[in-house]
Amino acid sequence: MIMFEIPAALKGIPTSWNGHFFGRDGESLGPLKLNEIDLIRGEARNHDWSAEICPEATINDLDKHAIEKARAEYKKKHPDLQSEVDQWDDTVFLNKAKVTIKGNITNAAIILLGKPESEAFLLPSIAKMSWILRNDQNIGQDYEHFGPPFFIKYQPVIW
């Protein structure tokens, strides 16, 4: 009897042994089918960095003005909820707006609503947008860099 253990596959990478991919098939072990290999590889493409939690960030790391503007835009988008939205505290509102998850601050919350210094929670990623400023002949004159909170600096197309 030969026994070996196959560890769980890393996200997006099927585990192989001697050039063959194996997986559980009920109580047994069997070769992975091509569609199963494709599903495992597809896991890496389904990763949503913006929904990741910033474990050390709190609601105090978000800009109050940005939250208020987001709340006003949310009420425009959902006019039937206006009176209800006014009753929600910031944590409930941010959860309902899907910017936080169970009160936990996400990367998206830092980018859209975070105080400028909150960008440090995203390291090694950088939340900066640069604009080339052009004159009336469409020639670049200068540039400007912007950081969080993007929500009060730019009007989103859809909220």
| pLDDT averaged over every residue in the chain | 83
More confidently predicted of 119 and 2: 119
CB 147 within 8 A of CB 127: yes
Total number of domains in the chain:
2
73 and 59 co-located in one domain: yes
The amino acid occupying position 55 is: P
- Confidence at 99, pLDDT banded by 50, 70, 90: very high
Judged by DSSP in three states, 139 sits in coil
70 and 140 co-located in one domain: yes
36 and 112 co-located in one domain: no
Q: How far apart are CA 38 and CA 136, in angstroms?
A: 51
pTM for the model: 0.63
Q: How far apart are CA 38 and CA 35, in angstroms?
A: 5
Structure tokens at 4: 């070996």
User: Looking at residue 29, what is its pLDDT?
Assistant: 80
32 and 55 co-located in one domain: no
User: Looking at residue 31, what is its pLDDT?
Assistant: 87
More confidently predicted of 14 and 109: 109
User: Looking at residue 78, what is its pLDDT?
Assistant: 92
23 and 94 co-located in one domain: no
pLDDT in tens, 59-84: 999 999 999 999 999 999 999 998 89
36 and 84 co-located in one domain: no
57 and 109 co-located in one domain: yes
Range of the domain at 23: 16-45
**152 domain residue, yes or no:** no
Number of H helices, E strands in the chain: 6, 7
